[in-house]
A and B are shown apart, each in its own frame.
Chain A
Amino acid sequence: MPAIQIPTQKWSGKVREVTLGATAADGGTRAKTVTVGGATTLPFLHFDGETPHAPVVAIEIQDRYPEDWSPILLEVWGDAAKDPASWAKAAEEKGADLIYLKFALNDDLSGDYARKIVRQVLDATGLPLIVFGPGQVEQDNDILVSVAEEGEGERLVLGVCEEKNYRTIVAAALAHGHLVDARTAMDVNLGKQLNILISDMGLPLDRIVMDPTTGALGYGMEYGYSVMERLRLAALQGDGMTQLPMLVTPGEETWRAKEARTDEGVPESWGDWTERAINWEVLTTSTLLESGADIVVLRHPESLKRVKGMINALMSH
């Protein structure tokens, strides 16, 4: 029987390799660094090209106890969630590749406060750190500049860096050796345009991760999927301004969705709440990984375990 020849697609482009975190040798204090990107093919198509770095999973922790989170999450993290340092440690123990520290929207957020929290988290874990402000331009600008100073040399990822405030965030990243999370609405052109604006300020492209925004399963995920797929296709076709790893936050999106958030007034056929919520997070995440996500931010440790399992299975060939 003749051997079946699997047709392969050779791309001219390659996703840029981006390293998060810095060890002592590179001026930081991380126990290890995480490198993503470098792919010369679409996700997991090992017969087409190289995927030198597996996608990685970050666990989201918050600066203060997130009372508005689902009781499922609060229960699983327990007392650890009451203190960012212990939460970071717990996440590391559960197998997270990265820590994603999010500052919740709060009136008394200040630069000094953010500096203190970031210091605690950096001291508690050896994992590279992603730090997000609450997503309001003015507060983000305030705290991220202080965070950048405090984390000097750590190659943190600072987010969100949007069209509205990119100058401030990029300037802070430039001055203190960090990376930025370039977030736009779900649109290929907008994503590319922000990367251009940022790199025009002199930040090297290997210090930018793209954040094309996404939605949970049933809440616009397919649109996000399509945009990410098109961005990745453009990258592989040689468009330099889209050849960046992508970060998405399926955890945050999922736990906002009704299916994960609540068990009240839902049909019995929806089944066990916890299992349903985790499935929702895992399904959303696995789909986004197939569309080219390089860094996914999750909330539930069981989701982390399942997603890591899926990544390992898809990467072994």
Chain B
Amino acid sequence: MFLLTCPLSHLLTGSNKGVIIATHTVHLEPSGKTAQAATGALLTDVIREAGLDFNIPCGGQGRCGRCAVIAKDSAGIRRRSTVRLSQKDLSAGYALACQTVVEGDARITIPPQEKIERRLTTDKTAGKVSLPFVYSYLDHQSLRLFPLTIEAPSLGDQTDDWSRLKRSLAANHNVSNLVADLPVLQKLGQSLRDNHWQVTAIVEMKTWDRPKGPPRLIALQPGSSPLSGPLIEGQTRNLWAAAVDIGTTTVSLYLVNLLTGEIATKAAEYNGQIRRGEDVISRIIFAGKENGLQDLQTLVVDTINKLAERAARRAKIKPQEIYRMTVTGNSTMIHLLLGLPPSSIRLDPFVTTINQPPPVRAGELGINICAQANIECLPGVASYVGADISAGVIGSQMCGSQALTLFLDVGTNGEMVLGDCDWLISCACSAGPAFEGAGVQDGMRATIGAIEEVWVNNDTFEPTYRVIPNPRLEARDEATPPRGICGSGLISLLAEMFITGVIDKGGHLNFTLESPRIREGEHGPEYVVAWGADTEEGRDICITKVDIDNLMRAKGAIYAGFAVLAESIGIELEMVERFLIGGSFGQYINVEKAVQIGLLPDLPWERFDFLGNTSLRGALLALLNDTYHRQVAEAASKMTYLELSADNTFYDAFTSALFLPHTDIEKFPSVAKVLG
């Protein structure tokens, strides 16, 4: 069926003369929806335009194979790339939606994709965050509340509203040179009169980049209840602000009462950008597509708004009562939030548009808190060492200590900082998303059904595993069937296979062992972790040689980063006195297993400390105390950035680390002992 997109008469007379665009009907099962698509339209676009939620984990590069759809007969479609599809997949009709174009009427079935279920253990729990200083609103906070009783105007005193407000602020609170944005002035007169000249001014005295002010009026609240003493009935005494960490995977938010410095609630949610790409590079690529940047910016703003709303609901306030927000994230996340094109981040010589962005108004970004509130992005160091790392350095307190400290934030990129109170050196190594479950055949995120820990029997080579339970099944005392293996599960699986000899030091499966689990699969040698009879989808869950190689590369890259950092300043890794691990993934790493595979250096366990989300903690500190924001900026500017692609050192360290646990076993004495 061919349709003309516009009336024939228009074609003949209008500007599009002679251009006939053929469109085709695409049936999308099981939704039953149909879509009209022009010749050459990408299936991903067609599916999304039909209003279906559809994930493209690698950003549409045809690399991850996770956007596969089924076209029973291949009529009406053309596969531009089949790299990720086996012959068996092809004959079953599989096609990658991001690599397939429409050329005629087609019927497509979209199989269920991996649902991103929330298993954010930290959501809701407003964990007690201990501060390295005693917070005092009056001493540390630049956002201030000033209760005002303003003299009403009269014929005898026709001073304008704004001057009255300024006069009152100067007289009662010694605040001068007040400024305000137009939207505040637009509401000023009404607000003063509605509240009978009894208001509380919310004033930002200074910002980190303008430590001398001028003070800026952000909003007026009704009433002029003093900050101390008994409350006037119906009034509350709070000053709300938020600290936000934009992770590539997870966005977290603290809602904070600046009067007390207490965290009222915490909310976390998967970054809405995930469905446009799982890692930073995929997102940068997506941002380069038409409307891609705008799309990604909207998605992250929506995620933040959702969190602000959820937190506000729990605190029984409106999100518009949030008057300040500090934000951290890696350089790409900050660029996408601000709508800055991130393309130069991934291209030699790897520079950002800006490492230390100025404060911007919430309204400008579409963040649905008080429109005049400042969004303050914390400063970053370089393309691959962003604000999340400089905030982490502050959040982990590493720069306040004499002890030689190594701080690692492990995610898609392994970012690390070595130093103490006098110096800091950082680098970022591209570990790839293997530890986040991507690029691994049966890998998945740490959600329901993920195998999160594995033990392998020394004699039978049979595994036992623990699965992240489905609460519904758990309540009925039923086991949750596994669906895949998450990062911590992969680390523990690799370590167990290695220690029991299922794989050798090079990561090769040992076929001389008597075990039906070690076999030749469709994609080469593999080890069966769970038989199909026990899994949710009825399919064997395996780790293949290719997966093992990917994991080895990921752990090798991270360890090589440590080695090169240490070598660059002439120390041995064993001299590191404190090893701090940030990032939410870090919390689930089993140190013993991570050392056994050579992901972490072989240090006494007590030197390791898991700090959870140090980036968010850094944002909180900066929110409470401008000194910390300046410290983050200082840490960022004094941090030496080591570009690993500049010479061969990293490559040598990397190939040396592509072994279990490492080519130089002397570096891993505890593992050598286990191996006997």
Interface on A for B, CB 8 Å cutoff?
Answer: 163, 167, 187-190, 192-194, 196-197, 200, 239, 241
Contact = CB atoms under 8 A, between A and B. Distances in A.
B96 to A, nearest CB: 30
B504 A197 contact: yes
Contacts of A163: 506, 508
Nearest to B654: A189
Contacts of B508: 163
Given A167-B512, A196-B663, A189 B504 contact: no
Output the residue of B505, B511, B652, B663 with the most chain A CB within 10 A.
B663
A196 B505 contact: yes
Contact of B659 (A167, A188, A196, A239): A196
Contacts of B39: none
Contacts of B656: 189
Given A167-B512, A189-B655, 20 more contacts: A163-B506, A163-B508, A167-B510, A167-B511, A187-B655, A189-B652, A189-B658, A189-B659, A189-B663, A190-B655, A192-B663, A193-B505, A193-B506, A193-B663, A194-B506, A196-B505, A196-B659, A196-B665, A197-B506, A200-B504
Nearest to A167: B512
Contacts of B505: 193, 196-197, 200
Contacts of B510: 167
Interface string B643-656: 00000000010011
Q: Is the interface of B mostly helix, strand, loop or mixed?
A: loop
A193 B659 contact: yes
Q: What's the interface size class on B, roughly? A: 10 to 19
Contacts of B665: 196
A52 B493 CA distance: 48
7 contacts: A167-B512, A188-B652, A189-B652, A192-B663, A193-B505, A196-B665, A241-B663
Interface of B: 504-506, 508, 510-512, 652, 655-656, 658-659, 663-665
Nearest to A171: B512
A190 B505 CA distance: 12
Contacts of A200: 504-505
B552 to A, nearest CB: 11
The 5 closest A-B pairs by CB, nearest first: A189-B655, A189-B656, A193-B659, A189-B663, A192-B663
Contacts of A241: 663
A275 to B, nearest CB: 38
A192 B659 CA distance: 10
Contacts of A189: 652, 655-656, 658-659, 663
Contacts of A239: 664
A106 B382 CA distance: 56
A73 B663 CA distance: 42
Contacts of A196: 505, 659, 663, 665
A152 B655 CA distance: 37
Contacts of B664: 239
B276 to A, nearest CB: 38
Contacts of A193: 505-506, 658-659, 663
A42 to B, nearest CB: 21
Nearest to A195: B663
A163 B663 CA distance: 14
Contacts of B504: 197, 200
Contacts of A167: 510-512
A238 to B, nearest CB: 10
Contacts of B512: 167
B51 to A, nearest CB: 50
B549 to A, nearest CB: 12
A200 B676 CA distance: 11
B244 to A, nearest CB: 42
Contacts of A188: 652
A190 B658 CA distance: 9
A167 B503 CA distance: 12
A77 B508 CA distance: 43
Contacts of B511: 167
Output the residue of B508, B510, B511 with the most chain A CB within 10 A.
B508
B555 to A, nearest CB: 15
B518 to A, nearest CB: 13
Nearest to B659: A193
A241 B504 CA distance: 16
A241 B665 CA distance: 10
Output the residue of A163, A190, A193 with the most chain B CB within 10 A.
A193
